[in-house]
């Protein structure tokens, strides 16, 4: 059996590149205070998955793979991996000398234990569906730093299961600690969690990464993450110095900040990769089973007007998951719904027999962004004779309702994943667990299945391009665009650089690489 090795030669060593300023000397010390938009439900990063867990968890844990600033895959706890020619065998070569927070070295046995733990139904890991979907038939530890996975079916995307955001390698001895006390390999060690107040972590003194000058990371002594749900509250907390880094600025303040930046702030405003969408339910009988009605919904919406209202002109309309500049972005994809056409929407409604209009139920999160999003959609659909009734739910209730599928419209936004097998397929394959809209297209399913094992990049890309065209024509999910990243730090905090996903930690940046100019705080 021949193999190809995914080796990142310039990055295979133990040290990694730190995005630091050559004109400033990094200083150790201080407690970094981060203002997040929500709280975790538990610090148990072996069982929890998704936002906001990924932002808290990435400070404590790491995956076998990681992401760079543009969200390309780079080595994490694995230096490289081999993929067999038939794409059914993956061999991961682990980084040597990596220590857990309790001082024990991480080995291939730990990777095996983490995979098995998340796959076991009785452990109730939210990542279970992710690991089931990965399709490993078996795995074996070759030696202390090598582990091999054999897949049920060919997959050129299997390594994505070990990403740095949702698949942290945790010391097995902490799996069932009560209360949860995660032991990871990341730059910061868990100390305590006070629900709705804060999570505290301290420096991992045996952390394996170093900056470009060979200095140990991280620089700060501790991190405190505070859940501040309201964007204005976070902004004021940053201004007062109650926090040092703000996970999300209010979009309505960004134009003024760009025009005249306050002297106490360092903003980070850039194109983002989190995509926003609306699902149209196909499970139960009703007007949305008629393609003409779905098209009417799409034509009734002016994407640019909605995005301008949500982001103050900082986002552009798109009709696909990946943003411009990313590997899986497709140029010149027709989008007949880009500008909206109420006249066309009414015409399609009449053709479908709904001259008196229809009423649809939308489930929506009780969060400012989602409520604003829903209100804009509601107002535009009303012009075409489509009345929308809201069911406002908290995060947990919304997720539960989405899975029950007893709704017509569902607004959402999802984070970036570098391979379409883990994004398009998980949302739109007929049997996918996150296919909340009950979409089913046999041709799309076949394209997804075939592309998963296709080793020719050009052929695989063509398959996804064809699938995207079919998805857009069916009108079961409407892509709007991508949310901009709008982060900010106080002037006294240096080098807190985020990546295309806005992560608190990534391969070469974030909290692990930030320091205070005075060595103690940002004031």
Q: Summarize pLDDT for 296-306 with one digit per residue, the tens.
A: 999 999 999 99
User: Please, what are the domains in the chain?
Assistant: 3-229+492-516 (3.40.190.10), 272-483 (3.10.105.10)
- The H or E element spanning position 379 is helix 368-382
Q: Provide the mean pLDDT of the chain.
A: 92
List Cα–Cα distances, 404 to 281, 379, 397, 442, 461, in angstroms.
11, 26, 11, 23, 33
Q: What per-residue confidence (pLDDT) applies to 1? A: 47
Structure letter (DSSP) for residue 55? H
- Stretch 379-388: mean pLDDT: 98
Q: Percent of the chain beyond pLDDT 90? A: 77
Q: Summarize pLDDT for 468-519 with one digit per residue, the tens.
A: 999 999 999 999 999 999 999 999 999 999 999 999 999 999 999 999 999 9
Q: Summarize pLDDT for 333-361 with one digit per residue, the tens.
A: 988 888 899 999 999 999 999 999 999 99
d(Cα 24, Cα 29) in Å, to the nearest integer? 15
Q: What per-residue confidence (pLDDT) applies to 5? A: 67
Residue 234's nearest CA partner among 489, 503, 493 is 489
Q: How many CA atoms lie within 13 A of 405 on its CB side?
A: 13
Residue 522's nearest CA partner among 488, 494, 487 is 494
* Residue matched to tokens 């204005």: 232
Continuous H helices in 90-165: 108-119, 128-134
Residue 501's nearest CA partner among 271, 305, 317, 234 is 271
- Stretch 20-41: mean pLDDT: 84
Q: What per-residue confidence (pLDDT) applies to 73? A: 93
Helices 442-452 and 457-474: crossing angle in degrees, nearest 10, is 160
Name all contacts of 328-337 with Cβ < 8 Å and 24+ positions apart.
Answer: 328/418, 328/419, 328/420, 328/461, 328/464, 330/464, 330/465, 330/468, 333/465, 333/468, 333/469, 333/472, 334/472, 335/472, 336/298, 336/299, 337/298, 337/299, 337/301, 337/303, 337/478
List Cα–Cα distances, 31 to 10, 102, 155, 498, in angstroms.
32, 21, 43, 19
Are the beta carbons of 321 and 405 closer than 8 angstroms?
no
Q: What per-residue confidence (pLDDT) applies to 17? A: 42
**Beta-bridge partner residues of 5:** 82
Q: What per-residue confidence (pLDDT) applies to 10? A: 40
Q: Summarize pLDDT for 57-91 with one digit per residue, the tens.
A: 999 999 999 999 988 999 999 999 999 999 999 99
């Amino acid at each position: 059996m021949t193999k190809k090795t995914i080796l990142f030669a310039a990055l295979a060593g133990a040290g990694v590149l730190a995005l630091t300023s050559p004109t400033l000397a990094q200083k150790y010390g201080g407690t970094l205070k981060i203002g997040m938009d929500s709280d975790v439900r538990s610090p148990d990063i072996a069982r929890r998955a998704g936002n906001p867990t990924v932002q808290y968890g990435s400070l404590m844990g790491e995956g076998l793979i990681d992401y760079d600033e543009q969200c390309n895959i780079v080595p994490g706890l694995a230096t490289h991996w081999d993929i067999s020619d038939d794409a059914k065998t993956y061999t991961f070569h682990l980084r040597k000398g990596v220590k857990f927070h309790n001082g024990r070295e991480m080995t291939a046995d730990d990777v095996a234990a983490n995979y098995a733990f998340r796959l076991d139904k009785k452990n109730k890991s939210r990542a279970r569906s992710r690991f089931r979907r990965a399709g490993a038939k078996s795995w074996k530890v070759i030696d202390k730093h090598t582990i091999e996975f054999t897949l049920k079916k060919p997959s050129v995307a299997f390594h994505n299961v070990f990403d740095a955001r949702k698949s942290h390698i945790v010391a097995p001895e902490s799996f069932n600690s009560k209360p949860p006390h995660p032991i990871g390999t990341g730059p910061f060690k868990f100390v305590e969690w006070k629900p709705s107040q804060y999570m505290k972590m301290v420096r991992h003194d045996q952390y394996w990464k170093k900056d470009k000058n060979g200095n140990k990371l991280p620089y700060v002594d501790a991190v405190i993450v505070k859940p501040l749900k309201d964007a204005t509250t976070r902004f004021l907390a940053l201004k007062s110095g109650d926090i040092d880094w703000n996970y999300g600025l209010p979009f309505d303040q960004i134009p003024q900040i760009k025009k005249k930046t306050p002297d106490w702030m360092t903003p980070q405003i850039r194109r983002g990769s989190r995509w926003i969408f609306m699902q149209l339910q196909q499970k139960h009988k009703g007007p949305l089973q008629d393609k003409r009605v779905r098209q009417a919904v799409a034509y009734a919406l002016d994407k640019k007007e909605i995005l301008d209202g949500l982001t103050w002109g900082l986002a552009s309309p798109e009709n696909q998951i990946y943003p411009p500049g990313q590997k899986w972005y497709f140029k010149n994809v027709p989008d007949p719904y880009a500008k909206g056409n109420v006249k066309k929407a009414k015409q399609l409604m009449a053709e479908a027999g709904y001259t008196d209009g229809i009423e649809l139920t939308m489930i929506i999160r009780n969060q400012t962004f989602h409520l604003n999003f829903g209100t804009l959609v509601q107002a535009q659909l009303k012009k075409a004779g489509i009345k929308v009734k809201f069911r406002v739910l908290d995060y947990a209730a919304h997720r539960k309702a989405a899975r029950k599928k007893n709704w017509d419209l569902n607004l959402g936004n999802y984070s970036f994943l570098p391979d379409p097998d883990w994004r398009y397929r998980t949302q739109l394959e007929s049997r996918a667990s996150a296919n909340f809209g009950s979409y089913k297209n046999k041709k799309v399913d076949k394209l997804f299945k075939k592309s998963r094992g296709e080793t020719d990049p050009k052929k695989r890309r063509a398959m996804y391009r064809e699938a995207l065209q079919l998805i857009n024509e069916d009108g079961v999910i409407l892509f709007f665009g991508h949310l901009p990243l709008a982060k900010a730090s106080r002037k006294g905090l240096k080098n807190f650089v985020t990546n295309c996903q806005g992560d608190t930690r990534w391969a070469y940046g974030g909290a692990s690489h930030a320091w205070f100019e005075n060595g103690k705080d940002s004031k």
